[in-house]
Amino acid sequence: MAFSDKILQKSIDPTVHQMLDRAEQAGIETVWDRYEKMLPECGFGELGVCCRNCNMGPCRISPFEDEGPQKGICGATADIIVARNLIRMIAGGAAAHSDHGRDLAHTLLLTAEGKSGGYEIKDEAKLAALAKEYGITADGRTKEEIALDLAKAVYAEFGKQEGPLQFTRRAPQKRVDQWQKMGIDPRGIDREIVEIMHRTHIGVDNDPVNLILQGLKASIADGWGGSMVATEISDVLFGTPEPVRSEANLGVLKADHVNIVAHGHEPVLSEMILAACSDPALVAKAKGLGAKGINLVGMCCTGNELNMRHGIPLAGNFMQQELAVITGAVDAMIVDVQCIMPALGDLCECFHTQFISTSYKAKFPGAVHMQFNEENALSIAKEIVGSAVDNYANRVPEKVFIPEEKSDCMVGFSAEAIIKALGGTLDPLLDAIKSGAIKGIAGVVGCNNPKIKHDLGHVGLVKELIKNNVLVVTTGCNAIATAKVGLMLPEAADQAGDGLKGVCQSLGIPPVLHMGSCVDISRILNVCAAAANALGVDISDLPVAGAAPEWMSEKAVSIGAYVVSSGIFTVLGTVPPVLGGPLVTEVLTQGANDVVGAAFAVETDPVKGAGLMIAHMDAKRKALGI
C-alpha cells in the first residue's frame, strides 16, 4: 500500500502509516494533526522567556535587545525567568515519579497489614536486602513484619525534613561528597519539590544559578529517591524482572479476542487487571460472547511493567495510544496516571471502545470512571475487565483493522538479571569495557514527540551506538521503539560492532537491554554506581552517557537533571525551553561540568547525537587509561 509523503514523514513505523491513513480517510484527528494546527508554536514559550508566576503579567522577554521588554514587570531578567520555568518543570516531573513511588509504598504497607485486596510479597530476597539497607531486623520475623517496617521507613523518606535519603548512599562516596560540596544532597523528597515552588514564587529566589542548583537537588530526590522507591518496592510486590520473550507493536491485538489495553504508569493497577484477565468466569463469559479469550496488551510504561515481568505484549509507545483505538479492535482502554491524552475521550466515541479511568488523581472527559483502590483491588479489577468483556458485543467488525506488523523481543533485564547473566558479578562487563570490546554503556530513554519523526530519534541513535560497540540499556518509550524493530533480540547483535557482537553472542543477550519503565532509570543508576564502586572511581569517570532522543514531558526534565547530577553526560533530541536565557544555557551545557562533572548537549540529528556520546566515551576511556 502506498502512502502520501505527509504520512510517511510522521513515523518510521509501518503500523503508524497504516493507522494514520485510516484516520485520514475517516476524518479522525490525531496528535500529529493537533501539532500541525499549533504551528507556528509560540516563540517566547520555546525560548522559555514567558512568565505567569504572578498576576501582574503574563510577562515575556524579547529575544532582541534593541526592541521589546528586557525585564518582567517585577524586574526579572530572561535568565531568572528561564531558570524559574525550568525548575518548575523539574518539580512537576519529580512530583509525578515520586508520587508513583509513594503509591507503591502505600500498597506495601497495606499488604504487610493484611488489608490489601490481592497483593502479596513475591520477592522475599529483595525484601530482605532492602530491610538490611534500612537497618531493619529480619531474623525470626515474618515477611509481613519486615515489610511493615520497610514500608514505614520508605514512607518517611517523602516527609523528611533533614537527610540523607537512604538510596542516595548507593552512589559512590565521591559522588555524595560532590553533592554535599555543592549543597545539592537532598533532605526529603517532598521538601525539595515544595522548596522549588517557594523559591519560584514572585520575589523569592532571583539568582539563576541558585535556582538551578535547587532544581538539581530536587531531581536527585526523584532519581535516587522517589523513582528508586517505585522500582524497588514494585520488585518486592510483583517480582524482580528476569529475561522473558514477548512481542511488540499494534499487531499484538487480536481480532478474535476481547482486547484490553492497559495504559499509564503504575503496576498497582495493571497487576490486578492481569490477574482479572485470567479469571475463569470472565474468560468463560468472553467465550460465551463469541471471543476466543481475553487479550491484555500494554501501552507506554504500564506496558513496560507488564512486559518485563510477565511477557505481556506491548501495543506501542506514547504516540500510538490513539492509533490503537483507531484499529476498532480495542474493547477497553484502561488508564491510571501520566502520559494519557485527554483526546482519547472524543476518539473512543468514534468507536465502541470504553475509555475507563481508575485514579482519583486523573479523570478525563468522555471516560467512564471506575475508582480503583488497593483494599479491594482484585474485585474492582474484575469489575473493570467484566465491563470490557461485555463491550465486546458492541464491536463493529466493519470498523476493525489491525496491522500485521509486530516483532519478537527479549525483555526484563533488571540490574539483578544483568549481573546473573554475567555469572553473578559485573567483572565480565568491566573486563569487556577495559579490553575495548565494549566501548561504553549508553542509557537511552524518554518519550515520543511529534516535533520529531516518530521513533526515528530512538531507533536511529540506538543503531548508531551499537554499530560502534556501545551497549545500550533502555527504558520507557525508547524501549518500546527499539523492541518494535527487533533490536531487543540476541540476533540483533549482527547489527553491532564486532566487539559488542562477540560479547552478546557469548552471553546470549541482545545489544539493547530492556530495563523497564521510566521510573526504572533508577536501575541504570544502580548499575553505574556498582561499576564505579568496583573500579574505585566516580560515575562521572566512567565511559557512560545518556540520551533522550524524543523527550517531551516534565518527568523527562527531572530525569535528565538527575542523570546529569549523577555525573552522566546526556544528549537531548528536542530543544528544551531555555535558549532565551544565555546564562542558564551556558550553565546546563558547560558550567554543570564544574558542579556535577557532567552536562547536557542538544542534538536533533540522532546519528550526530550518538557521535557526541561516542566521543565522550572515548575521552573517558583515555582518562582512565583503557
CA gap 297, 312 in Å, rounded:
6
C-alpha cell at 503: 560479547
In tens, the pLDDT along 112-167 reads: 999 999 999 999 999 999 999 999 999 999 999 999 999 999 999 999 999 899 99
Residue 518 marked as a ligand binder: yes
Residue 409 marked as a ligand binder: no
According to the model, what pLDDT value does residue 521 have?
A: 97
In tens, the pLDDT along 53-106 reads: 999 999 999 988 778 899 999 999 999 999 999 999 999 999 999 999 999 999
C-alpha cell at 625: 587509561
Give the residue carrying C-alpha cell 482519547: 344
CA gap 33, 56 in Å, rounded:
34
**Edge-to-edge strand ranges of the sheet holding 354-357:** 368-369, 354-357, 332-335, 258-263, 294-299, 314-316, 244-248, 407-411
Average the pLDDT over 221-242 and give the result: 98
According to the model, what pLDDT value does residue 67 have?
A: 81
According to the model, what pLDDT value does residue 296 have?
A: 98
- The DSSP letter of residue 367 is P
CA gap 108, 19 in Å, rounded:
41
According to the model, what pLDDT value does residue 1 have?
A: 73
According to the model, what pLDDT value does residue 375 have?
A: 97
For residue 405, the tally of other CB atoms under 10 A from its CB is 17
According to the model, what pLDDT value does residue 70 have?
A: 92
Residue 59 marked as a ligand binder: yes
Bridge partner residues of 441 (DSSP): 471, 544
Residue 50 marked as a ligand binder: yes
In tens, the pLDDT along 457-467 reads: 999 999 999 99
pLDDT mean across residues, the chain:
97
HSE of 564, CA atoms in CB hemisphere, 13 A: 31
How far, in whole angstroms, is CA 404 from its chain's centroid? 27
Residue 301 marked as a ligand binder: yes
In tens, the pLDDT along 304-361 reads: 999 999 999 999 999 999 999 999 999 999 999 999 999 999 999 999 999 999 999 9
Residue 74 marked as a ligand binder: yes
According to the model, what pLDDT value does residue 63 have?
A: 85
Checking 324-327 for CB contacts under 8 A at 24+ apart, the result is: 324/250, 324/253, 324/261, 324/299, 325/351, 325/353, 326/19, 326/22, 326/23, 326/26, 326/28, 326/30, 326/351, 327/19, 327/250, 327/253, 327/400, 327/401, 327/402, 327/403
According to the model, what pLDDT value does residue 614 have?
A: 98
In tens, the pLDDT along 538-579 reads: 999 999 999 999 999 999 999 999 999 999 999 999 999 999
In tens, the pLDDT along 159-202 reads: 999 989 999 999 999 999 999 999 999 999 999 999 999 999 99
- The domains of the chain, with CATH numbers, are 6-60 (no CATH), 78-238 (1.20.1270.30), 250-399 (3.40.50.2030), 414-624 (3.40.50.2030)
CA gap 164, 530 in Å, rounded:
20
Give the residue carrying C-alpha cell 463493529: 396
pLDDT-above-90 percentage for the chain: 98
Sorting pLDDT into bands at 50, 70 and 90, what band is 286? very high
What value, to the nearest 5°, has the Cα angle with vertex 402 and ends 401 and 406?
A: 160
CA gap 543, 547 in Å, rounded:
14
In tens, the pLDDT along 355-399 reads: 999 999 999 999 999 999 999 999 999 999 999 999 999 999 999
Is 510 a residue whose pLDDT tops 80? yes
